[in-house]
Amino acid sequence: MDPTQFDRRQLLAGGGAVFFCTLAGHRLSLDQPADVAKLAAGVPVPPRVAKPDGAAEAGAVTAGAGKKANTRQYWIRAEQVKWDIVPSGRDQMMNSRVRGRTRFPAYAYRPYSANFGSPLGPATIPGPLIEAEVGEQVVVHFQNHVDVPTTIHPHGIFYAEEMDGTYKGRFTDPGGFVQKNRTFTYVWEAREDSVGTWLYHDHGPMDPLPVFKGMFGPLIVRDPGAPSPPDKEFFLIMHSFSPVATQLNQQFACVNGRAYAGNTPTLRARVGQRVAFHVIALDDDFHTFHLHGHRWVDTSGFGTEGNPGTGKALDTKTLGPGESFTFEFVEDNPGRWFYHCHVFSHLHMGMNGWYIVR
């Protein structure tokens, strides 16, 4: 068979759409809107989750009881919010207007005071920073207020199987399928090998649509013996908003829930300050984080036996889905700088922002 003919036929059969994932028996593509609530209706409640009332929430709370470790507690609720990806309506890099609709019904994590007393801020994309020091226990009370079952699944920190926050079909633990208006308490441990910058995100039965609607955030485990934190710390998550999740008619390449300089975070520092960038990638692409006017020494792998790191100077680093890295430098170069993804299509779909040094 003529291979060009085959490709053409395949393309036509799929309507030009590129396969993304199968969810509740439906094949989804990134560029075609999906209704996540409708899809969720087709997912059966796993047997361990469907236990008698209250059983799904018990157990978890006692998992860390009796431990001597210091505990850090978080109250985080998943909420539905109208989210504007380009609130200014403009792209400051190209000095142009961004056409089309940019607001969509998002899912986002929102921090609360103890026992969900009152919100500590708005629901944001990414969600609140979860922070711990080695030796601490992290207790995250998670309440789900979105229409579909969701979870919190952490990277890097230690957790027992039932604290994984992951849907596993009929083997799912209660923490992997938190239904609307239910609460689940995750208990994790910051151990020595957890030091670093990580992320957390939904890993429930509708994975990855809630992530593509905004359910992710940064997590950092600090070494209490390390030098004091830098003067400036920036947490940047590189991701995208695709029509499959936003129901908008175009794709946006984002940093922290926004697209295009002037909407993405504008970072500020002064000469002489110690500056740290924590960079995370989370969508279906690789990203090359690039910072203008600066270099840093690649220390990834330093301190690990058999992997001394390269020690090379970098100004660009590639991240795959779910990866993260941190770099630090002492600021010595004033100016108005760009940070951006160096994949050009991402850069021009909005994955860029300002770094301003005085």
Q: Which residue ranges make up the site for Cu ion (CB under 5 A)?
A: 287, 341, 343, 346
Say if residue 16 is exposed, middle or buried (CB neighbours under 10 Å; 0-12, 13-18, 19+). exposed
Half-sphere exposure (Cβ direction) of 128: Cα atoms closer than 13 Å: 22
**CA 221/CA 112 separation, integer angstroms:** 21
Look up residue 33 and give its two tokens. 């809107």
User: Given the complex with Cu ion, which of 179 and 246 has the nearer CB atom?
Assistant: 246
* Smallest separation (angstroms) from Cu ion to the CB of 349: 9
Q: Which residues contact 178 (CB under 8 A, 6 or more apart)?
A: 142, 144, 149, 150, 151, 184, 204
Q: Specify the residue, 28 or 253, whose C-beta has the smaller distance to Cu ion.
A: 253
For residue 233, the tally of other CB atoms under 10 A from its CB is 16
Q: Name which of 83 and 339 has its Cβ closer to Cu ion.
A: 339
Q: Which pair of structure tokens corresponds to residue 208?
A: 């990855």
Nearer to Cu ion, 199 or 343 (CB): 343
**Nearest approach, Cβ of 110 to Cu ion (angstroms)?**
27
**Smallest distance, Å, CB 254 to Cu ion?**
10
Nearer to Cu ion, 278 or 287 (CB): 287
- Residue number, 43 or 237, with CB nearest to Cu ion: 237
Nearer to Cu ion, 245 or 341 (CB): 341
Phi-psi region at 245: left, alpha or beta (left = phi > 0; alpha = psi -120 to 50)? alpha
* Cβ count within 10 A of residue 30: 19
111 cis-preceded (ω within 30 degrees of 0): no
Q: What is the DSSP letter of 228?
A: P
- Residue 319 CB, nearest distance to Cu ion (Å)? 9
The b-or-e profile of 166-176 (16+ CB within 10 A means b, else e) is bbeeeebbbbb
Q: Which is nearer to Cu ion, 258 or 346 (CB)?
A: 346
Would you say the C-alpha torsion 85, 132, 166, 19 has a positive or negative sign?
positive
CA distance 152 to 130: 11
| 59/162 Cα distance (integer angstroms) | 10
Least distance from C-beta 252 to Cu ion, angstroms? 12
Decide whether 294 or 346 has the Cβ nearer to Cu ion.
346
Task: State the nearest-atom distance from the C-beta of 335 to Cu ion, in Å.
Answer: 23
Which strands form 137-144's sheet, in the order they lie side by side? 103-112, 71-84, 137-144, 183-189
How near is the Cβ of 339 to Cu ion at its closest, in Å? 12
The string of DSSP codes covering 42-105 is: TSPPPTTTTSSTTTTTTTGGGTTTT--S-EEEEEEEEEEEEEESSTTSEETTTTEEPPS--EEE
Provide the minimum distance between the beta carbon of 283 and Cu ion in the complex, in angstroms, as a whole number: 9
- Closest separation in Å from C-beta 324 to Cu ion: 14
